[in-house]
Each structure stands twice: as structure tokens, then as C-alpha cells.
Amino acid sequence: MCGICGCESSTHDHADDGHAAAESMQQESTPTKLIDVETRIQAKNDAYAAQVRSRLAATGTWACNLLSSPGAGKTSLLVETIKALQGSAPLFVIEGDQQTDNDAERIRQTGTPAVQINTGKGCHLDAHSILHQLDHPALAEPGLLFIENVGNLICPAAFDLGEQARVCIISVTEGDDKPLKYPDAVLGSDLLIISKTDLAPYVDFDIGRCVSNARKINPKINALALSAKNGEGMQAWIDWIKTSHHQYQQTGTMLSA
């Protein structure tokens, strides 16, 4: 996790005490001290995640955390998802990237409000950064909050953001053994999306093998294959969102496999 990978706390809208602790303690980074720092960072994040979850429950907002490598098509998928959902519920998007507000601007062009969190050298969003966004007026009514995490299948997997659903996206231009290489991202996710199926005829990605690999890590994970470009499989994704949202409204729990 970040205390080891060198991810620093330069998220523009907040300072994370945990990262400061990691930096200072890395000066004398014995294994015992690193484990201690990691534990402290996780405990602090978990406390913020509980606050986020409580705030979302108070407004009846369902939140979905999207994880993937860079370039798997998270933003394109979100744009098409928003087009399909607009009018059915209030929508809001939090975008995480190291730099630029390009993705938030792409979302805003659909008419849906979006905020951009730039993490600087940081490689993930944390619950504290999400908590800071929850006063946005667009989140005052029950609705759907999509959080596009920083493109990275390692560190984001370790940070609960207080979401109700977590989705791991792997595109067909990657390897179908990726679930085995990055198991934590799959283990903590409710749904695996295999994206860019319009490109499947041109690559050697085996969708069935990828799903099988994912279920070796997380036997209960749901799986969908889709293309935001040609619309293939999109309805199943929209249906999954609506089912998960409905279950959350009914029971306050996330959709189980």
C-alpha cells in the first residue's frame, strides 16, 4: 500500500495525517514500523469511510466506487451510464486523477454535476477526500453517486470510500490473467466488468477465462462484459445498478452476489 509504494499526500483539497505519518516513519522504515504506519493509515481511513457511509445513508444516496487500470474506459463507461440513467434519479460524479479536470469536464458535458479531485503524487482516493465532497447540493436528495477512482488496481483496492458497491473494470486490451495479478481489486469488488468488447475480435483476450480467474479470487463476484462504444451489454450494467440501488433503498445493504 501507499506507505511502501511512495504515494504521497498531495491531494489538493485536503491533507491526510496518515500519509504524513508514513513519510516521517519511512525515514527509519523497519518492517515493524511500516506495518504500524499501514495499520494507523487504514484505521484512520476506515473511520472516515464509516462517516461517509453514515452521511450517504442519511440522504439515501447509493455510491459506487469504480476501480481499473488507466485506460480501461471508466470515464467513457460513466458518460454512457449517465445518458442511460438521466431522469431516473439525481446523479453525481466524483472524479479522481493525479492531474487535470478533463474527466470531470467530460461528465459535466452530459449535464450531470461532477467534481474533480486531483491527488498529485497520490495513487488513490481515500475516504477523507470523499467526505469533503458530501456537502455538494447535488447530494442533498436520494440519488446515485459514482466515484471514478485513480487509474490503478493496487492502492485503491486498499481504501474503503464508504461506498455501497465496488466495481472492478478490466478491458479486453489488457490480459485475461489480470485478476490473478491484482487479486485485492477483485476480492473487494461486487462486480467485474470486462470493457471494450467491441475490440475483442482484434485481441487474444478470453472473456470466459478472465471471469474464471476472477472467481478463483472471489467466487461470488458478478461479471458483465460490455462496450460503452457500441452499447453491447450496457443494459445488463444499467439493470445491475438499478437492482443494487433498489436493494440499498430497501435494506440499506449492498447488492450481494
* CB 198, min distance to Mg ion, A: 18
Rounded Cα–Cα distance for residues 47 and 51 (Å): 7
Minimum CB distance to Mg ion, residue 149 (Å): 9
Query: Judged by CB, which is closer to Mg ion: 80, or 103?
Result: 103
Q: In angstroms, rounded to a whole number, what is the distance separating the alpha carbons of residues 8 and 89? A: 36
Q: How far is the CB of 79 from Mg ion (least distance, A)?
A: 10
Which window, 52-60, 74-82, 169-177, 206-214, contacts Mg ion (CB under 5 A)?
74-82
Nearer to Mg ion by Cβ, of 154 and 217: the residue is: 154
DSSP letters along 77-107, please? HHHHHHHHHTTTS-EEEEEEESS-SHHHHHH
Q: List phi, psi (to 5°) of 131.
A: -55, -35
- How far is CA 196 from each of CA 9, 221, 229, 232, rounded to the nearest angstrom? 33, 20, 7, 9
Contacts of 30 (CB under 8 A, 6+ apart): none
Binding to Mg ion, residues 186-225 (CB under 5 A): none
Kindly state the smallest distance separating residue 31's Cβ from Mg ion, in Å.
35
Nearer to Mg ion, 101 or 184 (CB): 101
Residue placing its CB nearer to Mg ion in the complex, 150 or 234 = 150
The label of the residue with cell 455538494 reads: 136
Rounded distance between C-alpha atoms, residue 215 and residue 142, angstroms: 33
Rule CB under 5 A: say whether 160 interacts with Mg ion.
Answer: no
Of the two residues 24 and 100, which places its CB atom closer to Mg ion in the complex?
100
- Closest residue (Cβ) to Mg ion? 75
Tell me if 80 contacts Mg ion by CB under 5 A: no
- Reading the block at residue 160, the C-alpha cell is 474503503
- Sole binder of Mg ion in the list 103, 160, 174, 176 (CB under 5 A): 103
Q: Are 228 and 80 contacting, i.e. CB atoms less than 8 angstroms apart?
A: yes
Helix (H, G, I), strand (E, B) or coil at 192: strand
- Region of 97-105, 129-137, 191-199, 204-212 interacting with Mg ion (CB under 5 A): 97-105
Amino acid present at 83: K
Number of residues near Mg ion (by CB under 5 A): 3
CB 152 within 8 A of CB 126: no
Least CB distance to Mg ion at residue 173 (A): 15
Piece of the chain touching Mg ion by CB under 5 A; list 71-79, 137-145, 164-172, 211-219? 71-79
**Contact between 75 and Mg ion (CB under 5 A)?**
yes
Residues that bind Mg ion (CB under 5 A): 74-75, 103
